[in-house]
Amino acid sequence: MLREAETFLRTHGYAAFSYADLSERVGIRKASIHHHFPTKEDLGVAVIDTYLERFREDLDALADKPIDAAAKLAGYGDFFASSLRDGMMPLCGALAADASELPVSMQKRVNKFFQLHLDWLQAIIAEGIRKKELKAEPSAARTAVMLLSTLQGASIVAWALKEPGLIKPAYRQVLETIVR
C-alpha cells in the first residue's frame, strides 16, 4: 500500500490523490486504509519515512564503496535518473512542489529529506577535497547545493518533457567543473 501511495505522490502530487484512488489501485476498501492510516497526513508521513530509510541505506552503501568521490557523486546522480522511471518524479522534488499543500509534519520531513541530501553530498565533497580528487572552490557546502539544485531542476525538466535522458548529461557537465 505504501509503494502505491508513493507512486501517487510521485506522479500526481499530494493534493491530487485520495484514499479512493489508492483503494481502487490496491484493491482494498477505503475503510481498511483508514484503519492503518487514519488520515492522509499519517499515510504521507509513513511514505516519506519509509522512503527516507531506503534512501539513507542507498546513500550509506554508495558512500562505503571503494571508489573516488567523483564516482560516488556520479552514482548519486544516477539515483535521480533512475527515479524518473515510469513517469515518476523523485519523491523529494514532487513533495517540494506541493510544499504549501502539505501538513506541517510532512513539510518538516521534506526539509529533513533535502538536508539528508545536502549533508551526504557535503561529506562526499569534503572527502574528495581532502583527497585532492575535487576542487576546493566553491566550498563543499556551496557545491552540494549546486549539485542538488542541478539534479532537482534537471529532474523537473526531464519529467515535464518525458525525457529522463536529460538528467545525466546536465549533471555530469556540472560535475566535471569540480573534478580535478
Query: Could you tell me if residue 36 is inside a domain?
Result: no
Lowest mean pLDDT among 44-53, 61-70, 77-86: 77-86
**55: containing domain:** 50-176
At residue 88's C-alpha, the angle toward residues 69 and 45, to 5°, is 85
Q: Is the pLDDT of residue 88 over 90?
A: no
Give the residue-averaged pLDDT of 74-87.
Answer: 87
Q: What is the C-alpha separation between 163 and 154, in angstroms, rounded?
A: 10
Domain with residue 54: its CATH number is 1.10.357.10
Q: Is-contact 70 129, C-beta < 8 A?
A: no
Q: Is the pLDDT of residue 86 over 80?
A: no
The pLDDT, as a whole number, for residue 154 is 94
The pLDDT, as a whole number, for residue 81 is 87
Query: Could you tell me if residue 34 is inside a domain?
Result: no
Give the residue-averaged pLDDT of 45-70.
Answer: 97
Q: Please report, rounded to a whole number, the percentage of residues in the chain having pLDDT higher than 70.
A: 100
Query: Could you tell me if residue 81 is inside a domain?
Result: yes
Query: Could you tell me if residue 171 is inside a domain?
Result: yes
Q: Is-contact 62 76, C-beta < 8 A?
A: yes
Query: Could you tell me if residue 105 is inside a domain?
Result: yes
- The pLDDT tens digits of the residues spanning 101-138 come to 899 999 999 999 999 999 999 999 999 999 999 999 99
Q: Is the pLDDT of residue 8 over 80?
A: yes
Q: Is-contact 14 105, C-beta < 8 A?
A: no
Query: Could you tell me if residue 8 is inside a domain?
Result: no
At residue 118's C-alpha, the angle toward residues 81 and 163, to 5°, is 15
Q: Is the pLDDT of residue 85 over 80?
A: no
The pLDDT, as a whole number, for residue 17 is 87
At residue 119's C-alpha, the angle toward residues 114 and 125, to 5°, is 125
- Residue 154, SS3 per DSSP: helix
Q: What is the C-alpha separation between 65 and 61, in angstroms, rounded?
A: 7
pTM equals 0.92
Query: Could you tell me if residue 155 is inside a domain?
Result: yes
Q: What is the C-alpha separation between 131 and 50, in angstroms, rounded?
A: 34
Query: Could you tell me if residue 118 is inside a domain?
Result: yes
Per the structure, how many domains does the chain have? 1
What secondary structure, in 3-state letters, does 22-73 show?
Answer: HHHHHCCCHHHHHHHCCCHHHHHHHHHHHHHHHHHHHHHHHHHCCCCHHHHH
